[in-house]
Chains A and B, each alone.
Chain A
């Protein structure tokens, strides 16, 4: 079997329903897209994302609620800020920014999820396997 990117998807409670919806409506996506459900995207510690890369993920996606859908209180704004900062940091150690993405997925957007995942997988496939040679954290 040829190389296929391995992807960790952190899904918040609500967007996890969106991911459910994808399967429910029969939108398939590759099996090496592995989901981790968390209560809210804001709980995702940037070091957890780094850990995923370190342990062999070729890409990490974070799916979260659109900040505009959360009215005035929007923890996913915090997530967005953290992810964009981490993308820049990753670039400095040679990890392409596009390997870390945040996706706004509502609880009924299954088709959007499967479409976006397939598109992102295509891009990551072109980037090839992530080779960071050992631990990023310990080296620091």
Chain B
């Protein structure tokens, strides 16, 4: 027969005056349900409970706040589920008016706990396996920073990148704000460090196609797209490029500067391997003849890589708004209306025009206007959020124009100018004002083309209420972030949720900002909302810290999660609707709980008409006798 040991704690004797411990003890001493009663005066001190030698017993601990005490117990190792806590301090001694009442209440609370302990089932204390290797998805600044930090802590990292090279958006920028230092010059060394690091395996041209498993033990399937050049043989000599007869637009240069069909996206690419774009390749075979290492294989097929990792960091970044969705700005139609990414390439010394701001007809652009919030802070085609980076980016770009050409005139059409970051006010806003940049508070209604081919911006100045027209040579659209449909598909594969805009949703926006709802899957950079370089790098390091702290654990246990008895489950599906976390899925004609997602609230237990779901010792089987015992006279 099951019996319970009761341990009473007097809290350094402070409860002796408030509860009659003798009466409490004598009430239970004759009970056939009670094995023995022990009294301690300092149960919270180190090893006191352990030294009582109650390892496998059913125990009721009557002491202080469960919140305090349970943490001490859980910290001390195994928690087998057979220990029941009663708070006779805050919820009894301190809450009652006198000793008589408090003793009466303590007896009732302990009576209930005895019943719960008697009906409890032992819980597994077995730890989960932790595979101490990580997967970072996305090789932008957030992903690279993250991979380097995890690798430096001594763990293997797989860095999966969809493009032929890591680097992301930062590799495409000319200068970074607010200090105007060259973007690739500060990112390049990080990229090559990642390429050299023995703990980092870069998997370029690849995407995640399937994720299974739980925190500590994910099984990930990755598809590596064919590049038609064997990366193990290619030494980056570039002989193939010299002979290739076909040109294609280069995505890296915002499609402005052509490259050959066999190409390397940019000089600092990591890995420095050539790839063929088969959409343009004419299969002439000249590159095959030129390649001394026989690296080129036009029969290349997609490959699948299977990984087993303990943690995943999602750092896939975000797309930018498609300006064609705002027809009033005629992007794609008027050739001197360009995006800010195109501007970055044009103003870059290694870009298509060698760093000279030229119009498409080859003449210099002397009057340039920036339009802010294209696709952000609006309820139309874009998103309602502020895109965070673009005020600073446009002010930086205005300064770049003036650094190249003191005679140029620059206009920024803004809504609210937000210069909140470190150095933004001083190095961007004030300097722009000093340099004569004209700020116009307006969201222009239209861009028109005049007879001589220049552009006419039609706007209302919202500070003065007056309408105006401004003639310029070039318009740069500051685009907001817009998550791609690709990313939303990836989120589905990972089992993480996205918000209404399609950005990945955090486990808690403030308290767990780098975690997703799936334990062991972390997030960094613009894939969970608009950010700049600094914040992306900070988050990369932050996510790396979470990964290494997970890997540093000696054992890992999931919080108690709901379990479904397949014998009892009839597949009615009421639990599905009851779960606020979306942790229950259909599987065949039954349901399954996603243990990494379940938060252990127990809503499904109460919803299940078959009592097919259990959650630790929180079922009717335990709580019902507990409540009955507390109420009986």
Using A43-B606, A56-B631 as known contacts, say yes or no to A19 and B581 having CB atoms under 8 A apart: no
Q: Say which size band chain A's interface belongs to.
A: 35 or more
**Per-residue contact bits, chain B 591-633, to A (CB 8 Å; 1 contact, 0 not):** 0000000011111011100000001101010011011101111
Q: A42, B631: Cβ atoms under 8 Å?
A: no
Given A34-B108, A36-B623, A77-B580, is A42 in contact with B606 using a C-beta cutoff of 8 Å? Answer: yes
Taking a contact as CB atoms under 8 Å apart, the answer to whether B602 and A28 are in contact is no
Q: State which size class the interface on B falls in.
A: 35 or more
Q: How far is the CA of A115 from the CA of B7 in the complex (A)?
A: 32
Verify A78–B580 contact, CB threshold 8 A: yes
Known A24-B94, A48-B623; judge A40-B602 contact (CB<8 A): yes
Q: Does B65 contact A (CB under 8 A)?
A: yes
Residue B109 CB within 8 A of the other chain? yes
**Set B90, B95, B96, B580: member contacting A75, Cβ < 8 A:** B580
- Residue A128 is within 8 A (CB to CB) of chain B in the complex: no
Distance between A121 CB and nearest chain B CB, rounded to angstroms: 13
Least distance between B621 CB and chain A CB atoms (Å): 11
- Distance in Å from the Cβ of A45 to the closest Cβ of chain B? 4
**CB<8 Å pairs between A and B, sample of 25:** A16-B66, A19-B91, A19-B95, A23-B89, A23-B94, A23-B95, A24-B90, A26-B94, A28-B96, A28-B97, A31-B96, A34-B630, A36-B623, A36-B626, A40-B601, A40-B603, A43-B618, A46-B606, A48-B624, A52-B627, A71-B509, A75-B599, A75-B601, A78-B578, A78-B607
Interface of A is mostly: mixed
A38 touches B632 (CB 8 A): no
Check if B628 sits within 8 Å of A55, measured CB to CB: yes
Cβ contact within 8 Å between B627 and A39: no
Known contacts A23-B95, A40-B601, A56-B632; 6 further A-B pairs (Cβ under 8 A): A8-B627, A8-B631, A19-B91, A23-B94, A48-B624, A78-B603
Which one, B104, B105, B109, B618, contacts A39 given CB within 8 A? B618
A6 to B104, CA, bound (A): 13
Chain A residues with Cβ under 8 A from B633's Cβ? 56
How far apart are A94's CB and chain B's nearest CB, in angstroms? 19
Complex CA gap A17/B605 in Å reads: 23
Q: A6-B631, A31-B105 are in contact. Are A45 and B606 (CB under 8 A)?
A: yes
- Chain B residue nearest to A73 (CB atoms) is B580
Please name the residue on chain A nearest to B109 by beta carbon. Answer: A34
Interface residue? A47 (CB, 8 A): yes
Given contacts A16-B66, A20-B67, A20-B87, contact A43 B626 (CB under 8 A): no
Which residues does chain A contribute within 8 Å of B618, judged by CB atoms? Answer: 38-39, 43
B79 CB to closest chain A CB (Å) equals 14
Please give, as numbers and ranges, the residues of chain A lying within 8 Å of B615 by CB-CB distance: 39, 43
Check B104 against A31 for contact (C-beta < 8 Å): yes
Measured CA separation A26–B89 after assembly (Å): 11
Q: Decide: A17 near B631, CB < 8 A? Known: A24-B90, A34-B105, A42-B603.
A: no
- Cross-chain contact A23 with B90 (CB below 8 angstroms): yes
Asked if B430 lies at the interface with its beta carbon under 8 angstroms from chain A, I say: no
Residue of A nearest to B629 (CB): A55
CB neighbors of B among A57-84 (8 A): 57, 71-75, 77-79, 82
CB nearest neighbor in B for A43 = B602
Binary flags per residue of B86-117, CB closer than 8 Å to A gives 1, else 0: 01011111111100011011001100100000
Contact of B602 among A31, A35, A39, A52 (CB under 8 A): A39
B57: Cβ under 8 A from any A Cβ: no
Query: CB of A103 within 8 A of chain B?
Result: no
Tell me, yes or no, whether A44 is within 8 Å of chain B by CB. yes
**CB of B310 to closest CB in A, whole Å:** 25
B508 contacts partner chain A, Cβ-Cβ < 8 Å = yes
Query: What is the distance, in angstroms, from A73's C-beta to the closest C-beta of chain B?
Result: 5
Residues of B near A72 (CB, < 8 A) are 505
Q: A1-35 toward B: CB 8 Å interface, digit per residue (1/0)?
A: 00000101000000011011111101111111011
Report chain A residues within 8 Å CB of B628: 51, 55
- Chain B residues with CB below 8 A from A31, complex form: 92, 95-97, 101-102, 104-105
